Amino acid sequence: MKNRINISRDDVKKYYLKQSEMINSGEELSPEIIAEEGYDPDQLRTEGLSLIESLRKRTEPKEYYQISWDIILKKVVKAGISKNLIENKVIPNSLLQQLNGNKAVETKQRAIDYLISVFGLNRKQLLESESISLSTIPSQLAYYKKPTNANLNQIKAYSHYAQFIAKTSSKACHNLPYNDYPEDIDEFREMLIEKHGEISLEALLDTIWNLGICVVPLTDSGVFHGASWNIDGRHVIILKQKTDSHAKWIFDLLHELYHVFAHLNEDNTSVIEETELSPVASNDSEEELEANSFANQFIFNSSAEILAKECVTRAGNKTERLKQAVIDTANDIGIRVDFLANYLAFRLQHDGTNWWGTANSLQVKDPSPVEVTRRFLTKNLDFKILNQIESNMLSMAIN
Amino acid sequence: MDSNFWNKLSSQNWDEIIDKLYAHSISRINWFGLKSEIKMQGKESKDFAHEAVTLLWEGKRIWDDSKEPDIMNFLKSVINSLIYNMVKSKERDVFTGMDLAEGINDSLFIDLMMEERLIREDFIEKLEGTMLEDEDMWLVFNSLIEGLKPIDIEDKYGMKIEIIRNTQKRLRRHVKKITDL
């Protein structure tokens, strides 16, 4: 141990300068210093950004806004953004009402702020150019089923919107802890069964949220069916479908979960599902087949095909007897009837037979899966952390 | 405001800038024991960051990027001058601080503040006393003033990065405590 230490004023100055340099060069130190001071770094950032936003609006050159809202709308629709999406999910209704025939600069400014925030558009280009293009891709997008050129623009536009919702959800779930993911499917199944006893949508959502993964339900039609993101280390799954079948929601959620576990380790990456997911698809990419296999293994414990054949045998190869055969087989084995009915319907569809009418009659549809998924989400959302645009957009998206 | 300048301001990465400005303001207030002083004026550390960006957007502080290309450095210098002017104006009871239009860079700010009154001899004595008892803190402090980064300290002395980070936190807390006495 030393007997004496000498620190000069110059040393103190050097230490202060080094601290400054470290604040400047890294992104990690600032939130640490902010938190040490007793501020919540996320809340303080929101406060600062909202001040900057109000200053930005207040000082914006007014000559920009001679252009009418209709012309702006035409430009964005031409770029692939659906008018329906803008009017129903992006611009709040109250603002939309004010835009009709209103020449006030501030109203247009506010509406344009929504378009810029969501679709990453350039303000100058939006206001001054003849046409605009969605040039920046929201994150490193992966399509394991390649989209056709015909809908690529639409998918790109909707991806911007969906990514905005995913990012906003991730931000609003800032209190959600990050937990270790299970090592394999058996560990994951054990986690769920140990707590809940059986596979249900509620049980699956609870288990997934406990891992620190956000699940967001969207109900818009078309464009794509589901997606998963890694937003700065937080995984977000978006489920987007019209059906009320719990079995389908569970299958899709498990499928997306596999992408999260296996394909989204890198920050700011995503997987987009362009078409409806099918447990028996055979012409998909390796990644899609792996994700299907994970979902099937989880639900059927690797015995989906054996069970399907058992049903057909019990039904004596007669479609009209298949319903009872499915019910009996599922009950004998101890799995849910709706899971097996769905698998059979997809299997038969693959072979050219439409058995969906019967399969649908065996589905569990209550309570509404959208409602169940939304309940888990809203429980974890902290709207206080969001700015006005984020808050309005997320509310419109999930309600 | 000129539309080109407005676009330039709008296109800055404010998410990152604002965090750094807050950390900068907090550090300046803590290093020179100004916490109770700003409290008496009804202010918080964050207010200096807010004031700096407001002055910039309102055109009351002009950012000339041909002189200072980094907006972060410019805003930091505005915060420095706001803090320095607050200290000076209180001391003399009338506003006689530097011209508000001039920013103050970090090195000059630290010199000015040290000159003013705020690095007292007992501050250095207390710092020395603590470091005599805390070898990790002494090592980290010394390494930082030599210009090493935490990762370099790990390489040079084999100290785990978590220990270095925790020691830095301890050092920051200590500086804050002894300047605020």
Could you tell me what percent of chain A has a pLDDT over 90? 48
Q: Of the segments A211-215, A241-245, A263-267, B11-15, which one has the largest average pLDDT value?
A: A211-215
Chain-chain contact of B46 with A6 (C-beta, under 8 angstroms): no
Can you give the pLDDT at residue A19?
87
Question: Which contacts (CB < 8 Å, 24+ apart) does range A306-312 have?
Answer: A307/A333, A307/A335, A307/A340, A307/A343, A308/A340, A308/A343, A308/A344, A308/A347, A311/A340, A311/A344
Q: Is the pLDDT of residue A335 over 70?
A: yes
Chain-chain contact of B50 with A14 (C-beta, under 8 angstroms): no
Q: Is the pLDDT of residue A284 over 70?
A: no
Q: Which residue of A has its CA nearest to B138?
A: A5
Residue A352, sorted as left (phi over 0), alpha (psi -120 to 50) or beta, turns out to be left
Can you give the pLDDT at residue B128?
87
pLDDT digits (tens, 9 = 90+) for B101-156: 567 888 888 888 877 755 666 788 888 888 888 889 999 999 998 889 888 999 99
| Of the partner residues A8, A16, A31, the one whose CB lies closest to the CB of residue B19 | A31
Residue A212 burial (CB < 10 Å; 0-12/13-18/19+)?
A: middle
Can you give the pLDDT at residue B88?
79
pLDDT digits (tens, 9 = 90+) for A187-208: 999 999 999 999 999 999 999 9
Strands A214-218 and A140-143, bridge-based pairing: unpaired
Strand order in the sheet with A226-231: A140-143, A269-273, A226-231, A234-240, A214-218
Collect all residues of chain B within an 8 Å Cβ-Cβ radius of residue A36. Answer: 26, 169, 172-173
pLDDT digits (tens, 9 = 90+) for B55-67: 999 999 999 989 8
Out of A24-28, A68-72, A83-87, pick the least confident. A24-28
Q: Is the pLDDT of residue A376 over 70?
A: yes
Mean pLDDT of A140-157: 61
Can you give the pLDDT at residue B96?
47
Q: Given pLDDT bands bounded at 50, 70 and 90, which one contains residue A294?
A: very high
Q: Of the segments A169-178, A225-234, B81-90, which one has the largest average pLDDT value?
A: A169-178
State the nearest Cα–Cα gap between B66 and chain A, in angstroms: 20
Q: Given pLDDT bands bounded at 50, 70 and 90, which one contains residue A148?
A: low
Mean pLDDT of A358-384: 94
Collect all residues of chain A within an 8 Å Cβ-Cβ radius of residue B138. Answer: 2, 5
Q: Given pLDDT bands bounded at 50, 70 and 90, which one contains residue B181?
A: low
Mutate to test the interface with B, among A4, A12, A109, A112 (most CBs of B within 10 A): A12
Write the CB contacts of A44 (distance below 8 Å, at least 6 apart in sequence): A34, B22, B46
Which of A295, A322, A291 lies closest to A309, judged by CA?
A322
Can you give the pLDDT at residue B95?
47
Q: Given pLDDT bands bounded at 50, 70 and 90, which one contains residue A289?
A: confident
Can you give the pLDDT at residue B120?
64
Compute the distance between CA of residue B132 and CA of residue A123 in angstroms, rounded to an integer. Answer: 58
- β-partners of residue A235 are A230
Q: Is the pLDDT of residue A77 over 80?
A: yes
Can you give the pLDDT at residue A283?
59
Can you give the pLDDT at residue B87?
82
Q: Is the pLDDT of residue A47 over 70?
A: yes
Compute the distance between CA of residue A346 and CA of residue A359 in angstroms, rounded to an integer. Answer: 9
Can you give the pLDDT at residue B94?
46
Mean pLDDT of A305-319: 90
Mean pLDDT of B74-100: 74
Q: Given pLDDT bands bounded at 50, 70 and 90, which one contains residue A282?
A: low
Chain-chain contact of B16 with A27 (C-beta, under 8 angstroms): yes
Is pTM, for the whole model, over 0.80?
Answer: no
Mean pLDDT of A285-311: 88
Q: Is the pLDDT of residue A142 over 70?
A: no
Mutate to test the interface with B, among A52, A66, A127, A390 (most CBs of B within 10 A): A52
**H helix intervals, chain A:** 9-25, 29-36, 41-59, 69-78, 83-85, 93-99, 105-119, 123-128, 149-172, 185-196, 201-210, 246-263, 286-300, 304-314, 322-333, 337-350, 356-361, 369-380, 388-398
Chain-chain contact of A56 with B19 (C-beta, under 8 angstroms): no
Can you give the pLDDT at residue A370?
94
Q: Is the pLDDT of residue B176 over 60?
A: yes
Report the mean per-residue pLDDT for chain A.
87
